């Protein structure tokens, strides 16, 4: 065989090897956590309060806390994010101001999560005096989630063909009517996908809630947005580093619940995307 083709064979094999080195550890991480965590997860684990300094019982307050935080994040981030995306996709022209907005979004996406935590502590917890609370944490997570929601929603809006807008305008409709009754409904599946992708990041984050929400051990459910709460990611951090003699089963069980929550949101987002992509007629 020609030497050049031998080199090509070796080259392709190395590329395949690289892909394998990327994939195998992912399977290992997910597999290990599923196998070792599955024995711990049962009905009591999901629905009971923790007991004996978290070494027994369930993780209900952490699950509820994470769901509430995600809900709070959604309430704050969706209107601002989708509104921002509508502005960029439908109204903004290519001016220096628009570029500045894009630069700001890129930078928001790059700010380290622990810096968001500092910011949330400074603004929401101390300056606005929300205290360590679900409200402070949700708002912090919402700002962190914005860039994901804005950029995916903008992409979805831009994918709607221009003709859809010109038809409304030619019928005497206004720009807002075109957005409200045609563009937004058409882009909705894409926007929902983006929102879910943003929220799943927020649900799994620990650093931004360290100083804004998280309660180390609080075996009751929060009653108002001004209450602190336990949360799954922070709980996993606590029981794997801060509590000596923690049964490994409970650690893996908590990791599994968090992973399952986040990955199932991921699957839902992917399903919505592919379902509507197939059904779409443009």
Partner 1 sequence: MHPRRWTEFAIESLIRVLGLSSIGFVLLIFLFLLKEGLPAFLEIPPENLLGTRWYPTFDLFGTLPLILGSLLVTATAISIALPLGVATAVFVREVAPGWARELLKPMIEVLAGIPSVVLGFFGMTVLAPLVRETLDAPTGLTAFTGGLVLAYMALPTIISVAEDALDAVPKSYRDAGLAMGATQWQTIWRVVVPAARSGILTAVMLGMGRAIGETMAVMMVTGNAARMPLTLDSLFRPVRTMTATIAAEMGEVARGSTHYHVLFGIGIILFVITFLLNLIAAGAIFKKRRRGGLR
Q: Which of residues 208-227 bind partner 1 (CB under 8 A)?
A: 210-211
| Least Å from the CB of residue 132 to partner 1 | 10
Binding mask 12-41 for partner 1 (x = CB under 8 A): x-xxx-xx-xxx-xxxxxx-xx--------
Contact 253, 37 (CB under 8 A): yes
Among 34, 113, 218, 249, binds partner 1 (CB under 8 A): 113
DSSP string, 51-62: ETTTTEE--HHH
* Touching partner 1, residues 137-176 (CB under 8 A): 143, 146-147, 150, 174-176
**50: helix, coil or strand?**
strand
Residues in 86-105 that interact with partner 1 by CB under 8 A? 86-88, 91-92, 97, 99-105
8 makes contact with partner 1 (CB under 8 A): yes
Number of residues lying near partner 1 (CB under 8 A): 90
Helices 248-279 and 60-86 cross at an angle (nearest 10°) of 30
112 lies in the binding site for partner 1 (CB under 8 A)? yes
CA–CA gap between residue 69 and residue 172 (Å, rounded): 44
Backbone φ and ψ of 57, nearest 5°: 80, -155
User: What is the closest distance, in whole angstroms, from the C-beta atom of residue 250 to partner 1 in the complex?
Assistant: 12
The answer to whether residue 207 forms part of the interface with partner 1 (CB under 8 A) is yes
Instruction: Give the DSSP per-residue string, 73-84.
Output: HHHHHHHHHHHH
Asked whether position 272 contacts partner 1 by CB under 8 A, the answer is no
CB closer to partner 1, 252 vs 281: 252
Say how far apart CA 177 and CA 196 lie, in whole Å. 26
The one among 73, 152, 193, 251 contacting partner 1 by CB under 8 A = 251
For residue 134, CA distances in Å to 28, 116, 119, 231, 233 come to: 34, 15, 15, 10, 15
Q: Is 118 in the site for partner 1 (CB under 8 A)?
A: yes
């Amino acid at each position: 065989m020609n030497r050049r083709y031998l080199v090509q064979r070796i080259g392709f094999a190395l590329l395949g090897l690289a892909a394998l080195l990327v994939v195998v550890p992912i399977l290992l991480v997910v597999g290990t956590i599923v196998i070792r965590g599955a024995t711990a997860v049962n009905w009591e684990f999901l629905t009971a309060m923790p007991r004996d300094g978290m070494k027994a019982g369930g993780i209900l307050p952490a699950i509820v806390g994470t769901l509430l935080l995600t809900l709070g994040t959604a309430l704050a981030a969706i209107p601002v994010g989708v509104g921002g995306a509508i502005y960029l996709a439908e109204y903004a022209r290519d001016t220096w101001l628009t570029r500045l907005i894009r630069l700001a979004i890129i930078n928001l996406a790059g700010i380290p999560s622990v810096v968001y935590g500092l910011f949330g502590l400074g603004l929401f917890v101390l300056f606005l005096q929300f205290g360590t609370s679900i409200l402070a944490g949700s708002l912090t997570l919402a700002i962190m989630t914005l860039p994901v929601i804005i950029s995916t929603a903008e992409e979805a809006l831009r994918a709607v063909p221009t003709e859809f807008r010109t038809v409304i305008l030619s019928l005497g409709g206004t720009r807002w009517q075109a957005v409200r009754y045609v563009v937004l409904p058409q882009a909705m599946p894409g926007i929902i996908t983006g929102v879910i992708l943003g929220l799943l990041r927020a649900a799994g984050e620990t650093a931004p809630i360290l100083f804004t929400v998280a309660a180390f051990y609080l075996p009751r459910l929060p009653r108002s947005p001004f209450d602190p709460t336990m949360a799954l990611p922070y709980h996993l951090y606590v029981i794997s580093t801060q509590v000596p003699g923690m049964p490994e089963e409970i650690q893996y069980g908590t990791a599994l619940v968090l992973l399952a929550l986040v990955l199932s949101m991921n699957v839902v987002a992917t399903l919505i995307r592919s379902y509507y992509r197939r059904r779409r007629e443009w």
